Amino acid sequence: MKSSLSLDKLLQVRKSVMDLGNQTHAWPYTVKKKVTLIISRISLYLVLSALSFVFVYPLLFIVSQSLMMPSDVSDSTVQWIPRALNLLNYKDAFAALGGSANRTYWDAFGLSVVISFGSALLQVFSCALAGYALGRYRFPGYTACLSLVLFAFLVPPQTIVVPLFQLFSDFHWINTFYPFVIPSAMGHGLKGALFVLIFIQFFHRLPYVLEEAARIDGASAYRTYWTIMLPLARPAMLVVFLFSVVWHWNDMFEPNLFLRIPNFYNLSQTLGIFNGIGSSQIDAATSGLTAAQTIGAAPTIMNKVMAGAMLSILPMLILYLFTQRYFVESVERAGIAGE
């Protein structure tokens, strides 16, 4: 500690000596430095704020569109803020997000919750198991197994669509949540291989001392894993859980494959068919208009669809509101970027 301090001081002295050498400017060096610092600070904030606008734009767009009434849409003075706060769009969207006549929003919502939170929870534990094996042990076949994980990460799901669908219909799992939950329970499912890689990376960096101490004290490998290593992996578990929830919630590819009747649609799908109903009406209404004109004068059904979009994404927004810190920090703490 002390030696590093004195080193810092040495560097400072060296720097100030060099600064002295630079003082041939019209302004004193410190003032000039301060001015450039302030300018760079201001431009940093300007750039960041401009970029932030692009990133918040989708949310602003959804909120603003979803609150607009027909009168606001046709009124050219209304750009962003509707004339009156009107939640009628939300009422209609809430009804439509059930997907079919005998379902409500909450049915589709419940299915989405089971699929995303259920799969995420299972993936956390199953991927941790595989990650622990590959992050801590060296065994014959290690390289082969590691390559299998990488391979599973890189295979496009497009390629195995047909056999997977066949497999799940043989099991009579179509229109249930099993095609999401069961592969997740085995460390697969949506981006399962990526999660295994995260755990491998994390376990790989933990010190071996704790584990060895537990083993010497007579704990079995499984007990060591469960009581010592897994609790240590909490940051990685958090990353995997949060990302898995969000990705499952937003995913359209697997639900569209395995949930095939509107009675078993989840939220992202009911939003999709809501728009399907809407767009056919739009086509009829705007068939004479060019694409550019349609964007300006979007028929009011789209405002309802935007209300639907808000309703379908609101649970994730609330989750993000409370866990934002973990999302952003945990990637660092989990050491995904390790080696």
Partner 1 sequence: MKKRMRLTIRTRNVLEAYSFLSLWLIGFALFMAIPLGRSLYYSFNQLKVTKEGLVPNWIGMANFRRAFSTDVNFIPLLQDSILGLLIQVPLILIFAMFAALLLNRPMIGRTFFRGVFFLPVIIASGAVLVEMLEQGAERMPLFTSSSLFLALVDIIPRDVLEPLLTLADKLTLVMWDSGVQILIFLAGLQTVSLSLYEAADIDGATKWESFWKITFPMITPMILVNTLFTIVNSFTSARNEMMLYIRDVVFSKNDYGYGSTIGWIYFILIFLLIGLVFLIFRKSLSSTEGRR
Interface with partner 1 (CB under 8 A), residue from 59, 88, 277, 289: 59
Interface with partner 1 (CB under 8 A), residue from 69, 78, 113, 145: 145
Residue 83 CB, nearest distance to partner 1 (Å)?
Answer: 19
How many positions of this chain bind partner 1 (CB under 8 A)? 103
Our CB check for partner 1 shows the closer of 3 and 159 to be 159
Residues 2-31 that bind partner 1 (CB under 8 A): 11, 14-15, 18
Cβ atoms < 10 Å from Cβ of 22: 10
Let me know: does 80 contact 64? Beta carbons within 8 Å: yes
Residues 28-47 that bind partner 1 (CB under 8 A): 41, 44-45, 47
Residue 198 CB, nearest distance to partner 1 (Å)?
Answer: 11
- Residue 218 and residue 251: Cα distance in Å, rounded? 45
Our CB check for partner 1 shows the closer of 89 and 269 to be 269
Residues 94-133 that bind partner 1 (CB under 8 A): 126-127, 129-130, 132-133
C-alpha 249: how far from chain center: 9
Contact window for partner 1 (CB under 8 A) among 29-37, 55-63, 87-95, 113-121? 55-63
Residue 48 CB, nearest distance to partner 1 (Å)?
Answer: 5
Residue 104 CB, nearest distance to partner 1 (Å)?
Answer: 18
C-alpha 69: how far from chain center: 32
Our CB check for partner 1 shows the closer of 170 and 217 to be 170
Our CB check for partner 1 shows the closer of 111 and 271 to be 271
* Contacts of 270 by beta carbon, 8 Å cutoff, 6+ apart: 96, 97, 98, 99, 108, 262, 308, 312
* Contacts of 248 by beta carbon, 8 Å cutoff, 6+ apart: 115, 116, 119, 120, 180, 190
Contact window for partner 1 (CB under 8 A) among 49-57, 69-77, 101-109, 206-214? 49-57
Residue 252 as a binder of partner 1 (CB under 8 A): the answer is yes
Residue 281 CB, nearest distance to partner 1 (Å)?
Answer: 13
CA 35 to each of CA 18, 38, 267: distance values in angstroms, whole numbers, following the listed order: 19, 5, 53
Interface with partner 1 (CB under 8 A), residue from 116, 119, 268, 300: 268
Residue 103 CB, nearest distance to partner 1 (Å)?
Answer: 17
Interface with partner 1 (CB under 8 A), residue from 6, 77, 159, 290: 159
Residues 167-226 that bind partner 1 (CB under 8 A): 167, 170, 183, 186-188, 190-192, 194, 196, 221, 225
Residues 62-101 that bind partner 1 (CB under 8 A): 62, 65
Interface with partner 1 (CB under 8 A), residue from 110, 118, 235, 335: 335
Interface with partner 1 (CB under 8 A), residue from 253, 283, 289, 297: 253
Interface with partner 1 (CB under 8 A), residue from 30, 71, 147, 324: 324
